[in-house]
Amino acid sequence: MPVDLTLAHRSDTLLFLAVVVYSLAMLGFAAEFSFSRRAGVARALSRGELRRSRSPVRVGGGSADTELPQAPRTPPAGADVDTTGDHLGRLAVVLTGVAFALHAGSVVTRGLAAHRWPWGNMYEYSSMVALVATGAFLLLLTRERVRYLGAFVLLFVVLFLGLAGTVLYVPAGPLIPALQSYWIAIHVAAAITASGTFAVGAIITLLYLLRESYDRATAAGRRTRISSVGRLLPPAASLDRVAYRVHAFAFPLWTFAVVAGAIWAESAWGRYWGWDPKETWSFITWVIYAGYLHARATAGWRGRKAAMIALVGFTALTVDYYIVNIFLVGLHSYAGV
């Protein structure tokens, strides 16, 4: 079936609109984050947290999480909450929802235009990863107080989509034979979901590291350049915990994506594993994230070092996506630009 050009064009327009609204939402989150007077509250809270951080566990030993200060609480009644900031933040959430819907519309129309799953090349794949990242953030919002993440996640989303819409853009078209299989729905969808979630995990981990070094600097009586951001962030323990939850969700998905890829490779190329560059880097990524999960259970590696490992894992994922697809020739090369 030929490509439906009207729909394909509509998909492009929707994506453009989504990027515009994402940018507005990002500004909203950034304004809430920086202009609000929550700084004082945050500090008071982290003091409160530290008081609570004496390990309350008597039996069964301390778990990695309970040894650390707990998550941020709602500000005590009567605390000095900045309502302008709060309103801005709520508005930004609504805008994010709108942009997410536009973005999802862009993906769906693209798929309908080309009569196939909308993840057959790097442009489409990037768009999906950004969609998942936003989705993961919105989902997290319903479960945790993570509005502070908004500006950072959307910054990533806007940059990522910008790169996708310019450098990686290709017009809608059919798939080459090697990709014509129902496995593309399973394997690639899993890889996309895992990647988008890992991206959010990496952002939270970065914020954790920021906050953690701010805490150390403060404890040592130093002021640092990152203070202005660091003091606005929630307590390090809370960031660490949320980062772990996000990674713990993404890791089994990535594992599944790799296994599904192996099954597909077996039926497409006659071997389930052949150390093709894409396979190699997926493996490296997997092993590093396994290292992250291990590090969190290894004395002397929790916290800062484990966080660094998670970031190394995300670096490997980025190499797997950009460097391998564009520069390293292999069987997966057609997944290219």
Partner 1 sequence: MTDTTHAGQAGIEYPPEAVPPPPPRRPGVSGTLRNSWRQLTSMRTALLLLFLLALAAVPGSLLPQRGLNAGKVQEFYAAHPTLAPLVDRLSGFNVFGAPWFAAIYLALFLSLAGCVLPRMWRQASGLRARPPAAPRHLRRLPSSATWAAVGDPVTVVDRYRSSLRGWRIDVRSEPDGSVALAGEKGFAKEAGNLLFHLSLLLLLVGVALGGLFGYKGNVLIKEGDAFSNTVAYYDTISPGRQFSPRQLAPFTVVLNDFRATYQPDGEPQTFGATVSYTPQPGVKQRAYDVRVNHPLQVDGAKLYLIGHGYALHFQVRGPDGKLAYDAAQPFLPRDASFASDGVVKVPDIPPGKDGKQRQLGFSGFFTPTTILGPKGLESGYPAARNPAVTLLAWQGDLGLDNGRPQSVYGLQTRGLHRVVDAAGKPATKTLRPGETLTLPGGAGAITFVGFSEFATFQITSDPGRQLALIAAILLIAGLLVSMRVRRRRIWLRVRLGNPSDGGRTVVEAGGLARNDPESFAEEFAGICARLGALPTAPDDGHQAAHDPATKEN
What is the total count of residues that contact partner 1 (CB under 8 A)?
A: 70
Q: Is 89 in the site for partner 1 (CB under 8 A)?
A: no
Candidates 268, 308, 311, 326; binder of partner 1 (CB under 8 A) is 268
Token readout for 137 is 């953030």
171-190 residues in contact with partner 1 (CB under 8 A) are 173-174, 176-178, 180-181, 183
What is the total count of residues that contact ligand HEM (CB under 6 A)?
A: 4
Q: Is 271 in the site for partner 1 (CB under 8 A)?
A: yes
Q: Is 297 in the site for ligand HEM (CB under 6 A)?
A: yes
Closest separation in Å from C-beta 72 to partner 1: 6
Q: Is 64 in the site for partner 1 (CB under 8 A)?
A: yes
Asked if residue 103 lies in contact with residue 131, where contact means CB atoms within 8 angstroms, the answer is yes
Q: Is 1 in the site for partner 1 (CB under 8 A)?
A: no
Q: Is 284 in the site for ligand HEM (CB under 6 A)?
A: no
Candidates 91, 104, 163, 293; binder of ligand HEM (CB under 6 A) is 293
Binding partner at 270 among ligand HEM, partner 1, none, C-beta below 5 to 8 Å by kind: partner 1
Q: Is 216 in the site for partner 1 (CB under 8 A)?
A: no
Candidates 262, 308, 311, 326; binder of partner 1 (CB under 8 A) is 262
**HEC assignment per residue over the chain:** CCCCHHHHHHHHHHHHHHHHHHHHHHHHHHHHHHHCCHHHHHHHHHHHHHHHCCCCCCCCCCCCCCCCCCCCCCCCCCCCCCHHHHHHHHHHHHHHHHHHHHHHHHHHHHHHHHCCCCCCCHHHHHHHHHHHHHHHHHHHHCCCCCHHHHHHHHHHHHHHHHHHHHCCCCCCCCCCHHHCCCHHHHHHHHHHHHHHHHHHHHHHHHHHHHHHHHHHHHHCCCCCCCHHHHCCCCCHHHHHHHHHHHHHHHHHHHHHHHHHHHHHHHHHHCCCCCCCHHHHHHHHHHHHHHHHHHHCCCCCCCCHHHHHHHHHHHHHHHHHHHHHHHHCCCHHHHHCC
Closest separation in Å from C-beta 224 to ligand HEM: 32
C-beta of 100 vs 244, nearer to ligand HEM: 244
Q: Is 294 in the site for ligand HEM (CB under 6 A)?
A: yes
CA distance 270 to 259: 15
Stretch that binds partner 1, among 91-99, 207-215, 223-231, 322-330 (CB under 8 A): 322-330
Closest separation in Å from C-beta 296 to partner 1: 7
Asked if residue 246 lies in contact with residue 135, where contact means CB atoms within 8 angstroms, the answer is no
CA distance 181 to 294: 36
Q: Provide the CB-side half-sphere exposure for 148 (13 A, CA).
A: 24
Stretch that binds ligand HEM, among 55-63, 120-128, 178-186, 291-299 (CB under 6 A): 291-299
Closest separation in Å from C-beta 316 to ligand HEM: 14
Binding partner at 78 among ligand HEM, partner 1, none, C-beta below 5 to 8 Å by kind: none
Query: Using CB under 8 A as the criterion, which residues of the chain lie in contact with partner 1 when the complex forms?
Result: 52, 56-66, 70-74, 143-145, 173-174, 176-178, 180-181, 183, 241, 248, 251-252, 255-256, 259, 262-264, 266-277, 280-281, 283-284, 287-288, 290-291, 294-301, 316, 324, 328, 330
Query: Using CB under 6 A as the criterion, which residues of the chain lie in contact with ligand HEM when the complex forms?
Result: 290, 293-294, 297
